[in-house]
Structure formats: C-alpha cells, structure tokens
Structure 1
Amino acid sequence: MVSAAVASSPTEAAGATDGERAIILSITERARTVTHVADSGTLCTLSSSGEAGPEGSPFGSHVDYVLDEQGWPIFLLAEASLHTQNIKASNRVSLLCQTPREANGQPQAALARVTLVGAIVDVDDDDELIQLKASFSLVHTYADQLTQSPRFKFYKLKPDKVYYVGGFGVLSKWLPVSEYETAEPDILADEASSIVSKINNGKQEDLQTVCKHFLNKATPDTVAVTTVDRLGLDLRVKARDLTDEFRIGFRQPVSSVEDAKSEIVKIFQEAWEKENGFEWEDQGPPIQRYAEDILRA
C-alpha cells in the first residue's frame, strides 16, 4: 500500500495554508533537480531495422547529456550509432534519468527519477554549437576531442511530456512541461548526495534520536536520509513491516552547503536536548509524514 500526501505546488506539498512556509520542494523543482544532477540516462528510440528485433521495437542505450536553459537534454551522438540511425528514421524518443546512487548504497528503486518524452531535433545554431562544445567537454571530459569530430553531432530532446517518480512509487505524476522548463534545480543539488552519505554513514545515533523524539518512532529497525535540499531533508524509517517517509523542514530555507549543515546540526541538537531532559516550548523542527506503509510486507 502506498499513501502519499504530496501535491504539485510548494504550498500543497508542505501541507501549508496561506501565510505558512512550504517545507517541501515542488514536484517540478524536484524533477528539474534530478535531470540536473544525473547528466546521463537511458535513451529509448524505435528500432529502424531488424537488428534489435522487429522494426519499431523499443531500443534503450546509455547516453550522456547536458541541459540547456530550459532543461532540455542535449546529446553528443555518433552518427554511425544504432540509436542515431533510429532517430533519423523516427525522432520520437524518451529519456530516463535517475538521481545518482550515493555511497551508503540505497537501492536504485528508492531514488527519484524522471522520464522526458518528446522529439529529437538538430542543433544547428553556430553560436549555440560553440557554447555546447565547451560546456559538454566541461561536464564530460572524455568528449573534448569528440566535439570536434565530424563523426559526432549534437542533438536536442524537446520534451512534450515529463514524468516524475519519487522513488519506491511514493509519488508519481505527469508534470506540465512549461512548469518544468521554468523550474530551477535546488541550490544543494550538486552536493546533496555527499551530504546524505555522510549523515547515513556517520550519524546513525543522531538519526535514531530524531526518530524517537520527533517522529514518534522509538525503536526503528532502520532509518536513512534519502534527500537533502534547501528546505529540509527526507527520512525513510522502517519499523517491523512498515516503512514510512517523513519530511523534516529546516527553520529557514538555506542558501549554501554550510547553511544546510548548520540546520542539520540544529535538528540533531534539539533531539539530543529532548533525550537529555531539556525541554523548550518551541522545540522541534516542522515535520510531515507524506507517505506511509510504502513497503508493507
């Protein structure tokens, strides 16, 4: 059973009303964050020959990409590759991107992912090509020489559908393309995986204390941070046959990695104070349980 209470706007996502502050990113911000940090994915094209099965069969291949200002993925593809030949026959494609797996070894199914569906178009603007050669080589250093080769060409995916999955099916939703294009990736996007790994590997005692005093989960079997962003962090808590997802909001949105670390330390400090009998009237961060029983046996 999956019970998810997350909606598409920041206010709805946080369960907030007018005048209250959201503690969860909008779904479009989360989707844009996924495509920003992934920088590679599975490109699915339609087979144009019998090599991969009957003509029109789906064919998936790994590709690297960079994003333009609208969040459209741009690929550097070999002209002789099978997926390029498929594109020339039919330019309808999809791209699956997933949040990179961090060092503590969360299962792939637990990580957020995005599928972009649309049409591949040529990149033929000279000024854009000059910029792309530099930006693609910066992100994918192996491609420095490939960008100059006539055997490789830049292609752009123009999405007309965007599908977001929050991991383990906690939340899945088709998103308006226009909202995806104007959304910004979270400011912590490039550092979030490292922060999550350090917390999960080095702060298990603190996480257990947070569960006991803020989440009403005194003795969870496992607890893991799954996401950190400028508004807070997500925890997946397993107790016996139930696995729940919680959102712990920061007191204030953060604008840097150092600010995020400070807010996380404050959460741990408040939990420690409650554990040791120091009670304060306004103690405790904003909390929301947004999915429950997601892995019921």
Structure 2
Amino acid sequence: MAQGKPIERRIQKTILVVDDTPGNIDMMLNILKEYDVIPATSGEEALFLLENETVDMILLDIMMPSMDGFEVCSRLKANEATREIPVIFITAKNDLDSIEKAYDAGGVDYVTKPFRPRELMARVKTHLHLREVIGKLDYLATHDSLTGLYNRRKFFELGRKLYNSSKSTVSAVIIDIDHFKRINDCHGHHSGDLVLKAVTKTIGALLPKQSVLGRVGGEEFAALIDACTMDDVKQLIDIIRITVSELIISIGGGAGLSCTISSGVARTGDGVASLDDLLKKADAALYEAKQSGRNRTIFRQSDTCTRQLPDE
C-alpha cells in the first residue's frame, strides 16, 4: 500500500469457468483458447480457487448441486477481494424470473444454453474491455497522474481505514521538498516534475509495504506507518532524508539536480483523537523543521518535540 501502483496489464486474460458438466467445460475451453481458462466443477471449488487465483472474468452455471450459481455470485459480491470481477451466467434456464435473479445477484450478463460460440466470445470480449476501461478510470480517480501516488482523497480514505483498524501506534509523516519553487523557477516545470517523480519513487521504495503514501499538495507528501517503534521510524525517515539528498536527478542535456527534504513526524498518543489531529501535529512539526533550517526532521509525540538534524 506504500504507493498506488499502475494497473497491472497481463498479456493474457484469465477466465474462471464454473460448470458441473465436464462436457460444457471442455466446450468452453475450446472456444476460449486465446485466454487462460481455469475450470471448476462446483461453486465450492470456484470459491476455493479464488482465494489464491486472480481472474478477470467468471463464466458461471446456475444449476449446480450443493451451491447454485446465484449463491456463488452473491458470495463473490459480498467479498471485497472478488466483488469487482464480472460474472456472466451461462445456463439452460431461460425464464424471466431466473434472468432477473441473476442480475440481482450481481451478474453482468446472461447467456442461455445451448450457446453460440461467436456470441459468447463477443460478450466475453465486451465485458473484459469494460472491466479494463473501468479499471483505468478508477486508477485515474484515485491516483496522482504525475507521481503515481494516491491522491489526497484516496490517501485520506485509506489512511482512515489504517488509523481506525490499527491495534498499535501509527506514525504520520509529512514530507516537503525544500525550495521546490526555486527549482521550478530556475530550471522549469518539466525539471520540477522530474524531481517530484524521483523523490516520490525513492520514498515509496523505502517505506514499509503496508504504509499509505499520498501526494497531498504540490510538493508535499504524507505517509502513515503502522506498528513501528519510535526508534525504527527515526531511523527510517533519516534513511529517506539522506537517500534523497544523495540523488542526482537527470534533467536532460547532461545536467543533474539534487534536492533535500524536510519532514514532520507525529505518533498516536495523548492529545490525538483522530487522523486529522495526527496529521495536524505532523504538519506543525514539518513547519518547525522548515523554520529551523530545512533538510531535517522534527518528531512530535504528545506535546514534546525532538529534532533530527542533517549530518554536518
């Protein structure tokens, strides 16, 4: 969760085919040869496979023993990990009640048996394309287009989830690139963009995997780190600060830029009643870091501050 990653684009799409009749599965395997097809002969097997497999679509029979397709689909839609997978029902049932029930359960399409291969392929391709378009739109709505980090809205959404679910201490870090306006003014906005990309890539690579990192301002970034001791956080932020200061960022024409960052850190404890409170304390610590010379980190816990200064 450290930073929003671009949408994964597998060359070959994966389709889960669920049908209790082996002959039907063989037929669909033959029709869907251009895809990676995973067969399942029961609803229970399908749900078990999806615990470890990532699929792009599910073709689901309705009439199966033990657990029918309606129940399988309802369970998929109730699970955050699988609810966005498009489900096409493929069944011999062609009455209006069954069709309505299939859509109510969360299906995106309904194909009756015996199905026509070309029609089935057309429907599969259409819904795979729609899934890809929706995925791109969702990415653009939740990520900063320049850095690939979570945007402000998504950062706060995920941040509140982490803050509310944490059973340990949460550390908030707000990071600002020192004298960034000067970089833009002297070298141009394209060079400024290259600096932003390089700095955020470095920060994202060094943060723990389960952290939340977002771009919350022009040259300002916020991170939430769960279950780290004060000493570990101090060491981590110092490593990030030093690593950024050692970057030589190519801006073309053989020229390179370097920069430094200032950070403010706050941790949950006395006087922190919400994520907003925590971030306000981190922001106040950042302000103090900038006022006291930049290229340093100020740590704040409750009403006390400690300073981490740059190496002389």
Q: TM-score, normalised by structure 2?
A: 0.27
Which structure dedicates a bigger proportion of its chain to strand?
1
Which structure dedicates a bigger proportion of its chain to helix?
2
- Larger RCO (CA under 8 A, 6+ residues apart): 1
